[in-house]
Amino acid sequence: MSVVFSVFMLTLLVITTFAIVRTRHLFVAVVLTGIFSLLIAAIFFLLDAADVALTEAAIGAGIATVLFLGALALTGEHERGGSRNRLLSLAVVAVIASILIYATFDNPRFGDPQAPVHQHVSPWYLDGTREYIDIPNVVTAVLGSFRGYDTLGEVFVVFTAGIGVLFLFSAQPRRRRSSSQPATGPIEGEGLRHYLIPRVVGRMLIPFILLFGLYVQFHGEYGPGGGFQAGAIFAAAVILYALLEGETRALRALPASVLTGLMAGGALLYSAVGVAGMLLGSHFLDYSVLAADPVVGQQIGIVLIEAGVGITVAGVLISVFHAFAARESV
């Protein structure tokens, strides 16, 4: 039954892909892109990759769709005339697709227990997690401890990307508040303040979204979740508030200076945990020296670095949203 459902989801994925490529209405393309991300998230769940599915659902289907809509507000609703080199473009896509398909022929059969990865590193991760960290979620142990350097690099990639986006948006003048508009009140017509049903439903959902974000943040040791997913969920709650009440109120609740501190603070917290290990006489990102019991030290370190990841991700995503929202239409 699961195989039939997987084939059905893949079929919907292909249909959605063709619809995205064929449509010339950009709003329709954005909506279909959100549907595409939801389908991808469902497929990840079917493949038992729940952590990746949560990230895809929160960022791909949620925040990315909002950012696309923000970008669409700065452009036209319809795609401009297509390129004259369609045959060349089609040939390039066909060649790349053929190479990728050919490369898959050397991959092990899906779920094959004799695959090289299952014979080399996976058994050690499974055994090492029980011995050195003692948490049920092996994915969190791998990403937070065994591959802590890699995850630290990803955090700084997110941080650097956020800085780059903010620099790009600061290159053009931003939308200015009318001189007749008081600085302390909301801009007239901003957000969905005059739409009763979205505002009431949204206000009811925001506390539950924040609560779920806390659950994902601090339950990553025992189930799917962690800093990346939780940061995206926190950002989704703040963005929803900004859409309902307007950007002015959202910035009043969480000012730009605080967002900048969150962007840098999470990455600094992650780095500080690594430096603490060095100051206590061990290696960078060795959490075992953070407590008298090495296992407890590992658990404390993972909680701290996951908090840093969540803080940076939330700060970057919210800052990028406000950068989009502050732009003038062209």
* Structure confidence at residue 187 (pLDDT): 45
* Structure confidence at residue 150 (pLDDT): 92
* Structure confidence at residue 173 (pLDDT): 52
Q: Give yes or no for a contact between 20 and 62, defined as CB atoms under 8 angstroms apart.
A: no
Q: Which class is domain 1-107? A: mainly alpha
Which residues, listed in sequence order, are joined to residue 25 by a DSSP beta bridge? Answer: 78
* Structure confidence at residue 81 (pLDDT): 67
120 Cβ partners below 8 Å, 6+ apart? none
CA distance 32 to 26: 10
Report CA dihedral (10, 16, 21, 22) to the nearest 10 degrees: 130
Distances (CA, A) of 281 to 254, 277, 278, 289, 309: 39, 7, 5, 8, 25
H helix or E strand, kind and range, residue 105: none
User: What residue spans in the chain does CATH classification 1.20.120.1200 cover?
Assistant: 1-107
CA distance 296 to 90: 56
- Flag whether the pTM goes above 0.85: no
Backbone angles phi, psi at 53, to 5 degrees: -65, -40
Q: Give yes or no for a contact between 218 and 208, defined as CB atoms under 8 angstroms apart.
A: no
* Structure confidence at residue 190 (pLDDT): 56
Q: Give yes or no for a contact between 247 and 188, defined as CB atoms under 8 angstroms apart.
A: no
DSSP letter assigned to residue 320:
H
How many C-beta atoms lie closer than 10 Å to residue 175's C-beta? 11
Distances (CA, A) of 232 to 4, 154, 237, 280: 31, 15, 9, 33
- CA–CA–CA angle 123, 119, 225 (5° rounding): 45
Q: How does pLDDT run along the chain (330 residues), one tens digit per residue? A: 677 888 888 899 999 999 998 888 888 888 899 899 989 988 888 887 877 888 888 888 878 888 887 777 777 777 776 666 778 888 998 999 999 999 888 888 877 778 877 777 888 888 888 888 988 888 888 888 898 999 999 999 999 988 988 888 775 555 544 444 444 444 444 556 677 777 788 888 999 999 999 999 988 788 778 888 899 999 989 988 888 888 888 888 889 899 999 999 999 999 999 999 999 999 999 999 999 999 999 999 999 999 999 999 999 999 988 888 776 544
* Structure confidence at residue 293 (pLDDT): 92
* Structure confidence at residue 175 (pLDDT): 52
Q: Which of 234, 53, 232, 266 lies closest to 152 in space, CA to CA?
A: 266
Q: Which of 172, 191, 301 lies closest to 253 in space, CA to CA?
A: 191
- CA–CA–CA angle 249, 250, 252 (5° rounding): 60
* Structure confidence at residue 208 (pLDDT): 93
CA distance 108 to 115: 6
